[in-house]
Each structure stands twice: as structure tokens, then as C-alpha cells.
Amino acid sequence: MSLDTIRLSQPAKDQLIKLKRVTGIKTWNVLCRWALATSLADESTPLVRDIVADSNLEMSWRTFAGDQRDLYLALLRQRCVAEGEQPSDEVIARLLSIHLHRGIGYLSGRTDMKSIEDLVATVIR
């Protein structure tokens, strides 16, 4: 697993399609950033450990993180340490995938989300 290319599962892609429709956000990477922030805000350890990246949806780390690459990397490193893991490239890539998928699941599972305003309200609570 590499941090250079982020690949998503088919269920995560389907959930993102729903989120794009509901929020009006047109790009995968922006929705994925919201999803990562949502998952990282939850202090619990994600239950899912293995993600099958079987969809055709992938993006580069540069596309995902944009100008805030250093910030996202620092957040992931900090989370590795908080979970008792060494922040190696492999562990960070695995952690990114796990938290990204959990965050996508959290956001798409919200029955009260009907707009971008609802997305913002969900994340800032």
C-alpha cells in the first residue's frame, strides 16, 4: 500500500456518488477530505482493518490533499502515534484508507444530510 495513490472500495465509491448528489460537491477529493476529517474527529479506533480497493476510483495524494498535504500528513502521523503505531509510510497509508472509508460511511449514512449546509453542520458538531 502506498500513499502516492489512494484507491477506494466500490461501496465507498457508491456512497460518494450519493454524497455528491446530496451536497452538490462535484469533486471526489473534496468529499474525501471531509470524510477523513470526520473520521479523525472520532477518537475511537476504526473497527474495519482491511479495505478491498476494488473500484475504479483512485486519486493521487497530491490531488487528495491539495495545498494542505503537510497538514493532512501531520494529522495522520499524530493519529498513528495516538493509536500506538509507528508512523511509517505503510502504516500512514493504511490508516488513511481506514479512516477515509469510515468517514465516507459516516457521512453517507446520515439520513438528515440533504445539502452542503447539512454536511458542514455534521462535521463541525
**What is residue 2's predicted lDDT score, i.e. its pLDDT?**
62
* CATH code, 23: 1.10.1220.160
Residue of 85, 82, 104 whose CA lies nearest to 94: 85
- The answer to whether residue 1 scores a pLDDT higher than 80 is no
Containing structural domain, residue 32: 5-124
Alpha-carbon torsion 88, 89, 92, 93, what sign? Answer: negative
Residue 123 has pLDDT above 80, yes or no: no
Split into its structural domains, the chain has a count of 1
**Interval 36-47: pLDDT, tens:** 999 999 999 888
The 10s digit of each residue's pLDDT in 82-105 is 989 999 999 999 999 999 999 999
Q: What is the chain's Cα-based Rg?
A: 14
